């Protein structure tokens, strides 16, 4: 069972990262969303969101460059 004392604690780094990833794909659960809005700091989620988006774009750019290199373009 869930420990009621844990409900008042802010989300851990891994929980925030999971929330950012879930939000990016649009599959956040209502329970986690409620936890994030009631106990999380917006600045933490904003920073993680920016970092995730930057990393995601860089990975896509790297894949595109690799594909162009392998195609001989």
Structure confidence by residue, pLDDT tens digits, 35-60: 988 998 999 999 999 999 999 999 99
Residue 8 binned pLDDT confidence (cut-offs 50, 70, 90)? confident
Percentage of the chain beyond pLDDT 90 is 60
Average pLDDT score over the chain: 89
Rounded to two decimals, the pTM is: 0.76
Lowest mean pLDDT segment, chosen from 2-6, 54-58, 65-69: 2-6
Task: Give ∠ CA 54-12-1 in degrees, rounded to 5.
Answer: 135
DSSP per position, 15-52:
HHHHHHHHHHHT---HHHHHHHHHH--HHHHHHHHHHH
């Amino acid at each position: 069972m869930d420990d009621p004392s844990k409900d008042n604690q802010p989300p851990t780094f891994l929980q925030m990262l999971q929330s950012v990833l879930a939000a990016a794909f649009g599959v956040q659960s209502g329970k986690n969303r409620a936890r994030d809005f009631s106990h999380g700091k917006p600045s933490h989620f904003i920073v993680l969101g920016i970092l995730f988006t930057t990393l995601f774009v860089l990975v896509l750019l790297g894949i595109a460059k690799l594909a162009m290199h392998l195609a001989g373009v």
